[in-house]
Chain A
Amino acid sequence: MSDLLDTLPYARFLGLQSRLTGEDLVVVMPFAEQLVGNPMLPALHGGSTAALLEMTAVAQVALSYPRLRLPRPINVTVAYLRSGRPVDVHARARINKAGRRVAYVLAEAWQGDESQPIASLTAHFLLDEDDNLQMVDETR
């Protein structure tokens, strides 16, 4: 399941790689020239960091709460804390609350030092309902 990201086209476009430790994912976005948004600094495009955070959250929710369909974002808030330098970015997500339909997730992205995040995300995701699993059973 940790290789879910390999099956998602946009995660492949960003070059995301995931590492699973127990139940926790760490996703890496290796530096690539095409992630740069500001060539003068240079700095990563904030959107690429936001997409990394969102993909990390999706993958962690899909791992912890497996459903027939992927979790779909309801809303996403990103705070940009530091400029993204032209090196690898790491991200980790924590599910703060998961109900029957909605999961609330926090995620952080860092470069080098995890205690100095470059961006943080909070998001709600819509979970495919458990009912769907039962419906599959009923149609048998």
Chain B
Amino acid sequence: MTDPFITDLLPQLAGGAAHTHALGFAFDGLEGDRVRIRVPYRADLVGDPQTGVLAGGLVTTLLDHTGGLAVWVKMGGFKPVATLDLRVDYMRAAEAGRDLIAEARCFQLTHSIAFVRAWAFEDSPDNPVAASQAAYVIETTGGRPVGANLRTRGTGA
């Protein structure tokens, strides 16, 4: 594993921005096109103090971000991407006191859109806390100049 994209850039993209750093996101490995991020359990990330379970919003953020990582893995490098939409199903409460891991896979990539599935779990994706399906827009001009997609209107007189 000497590819600098995997050894240097992926960990940076996983937890290097202000928000992901504040949440403690850490790159947790790549296997084929499946990439993982781990978030260590912390009391200030809890959603319901009665149960000590991590907040749903944190799980959503983790799945969103790990999904973005999977898009870069699929493209083999960094390009600006933006989440278009994200659906998360919550299967069960996360176990209080335990780290959460997300695994994501970009299963289809078109010129402008990437489709991703992801799972969040403590031990194995076979027993998920949550699962997500998301679409990401890939910010690219495809080498074409701005306006190249516009149809010419009439020809003037």
Check if A72 sits within 8 Å of B93, measured CB to CB.
yes
Residue of B57, B62, B82, B84 near A10 (CB, 8 A) is B57
Chain B at the A interface: SS class = mixed
Assembly CA distance A13 to B20 (angstroms): 13
B123 contacts chain A at the CB level, 8 A cutoff: no
Smallest CB–CB gap between B121 and chain A, Å?
17
Residues of B in contact, count (CB < 8 Å)? 35
Check if A35 sits within 8 Å of B18, measured CB to CB.
yes
Residues of A in contact, count (CB < 8 Å)? 38
Check if A70 sits within 8 Å of B48, measured CB to CB.
yes
Check if A34 sits within 8 Å of B60, measured CB to CB.
no
A45 contacts chain B at the CB level, 8 A cutoff: yes
Check if A78 sits within 8 Å of B90, measured CB to CB.
no
- The stretch that binds B, out of A36-44, A97-105, A109-117, is A36-44
CB-based closest 7 A-B pairs: A51-B57, A47-B61, A10-B55, A45-B19, A34-B22, A36-B18, A9-B46
Contacts A8-B55, A51-B55, A79-B85 aside, 12 further interface pairs with beta carbons under 8 A come to: A10-B45, A35-B18, A36-B18, A39-B17, A44-B19, A54-B55, A58-B56, A70-B48, A72-B56, A75-B90, A78-B83, A80-B84
A contact residues vs B (CB 8 Å cutoff): 7-10, 12-14, 33-40, 44-48, 50-52, 54-55, 58, 69-70, 72-80, 83
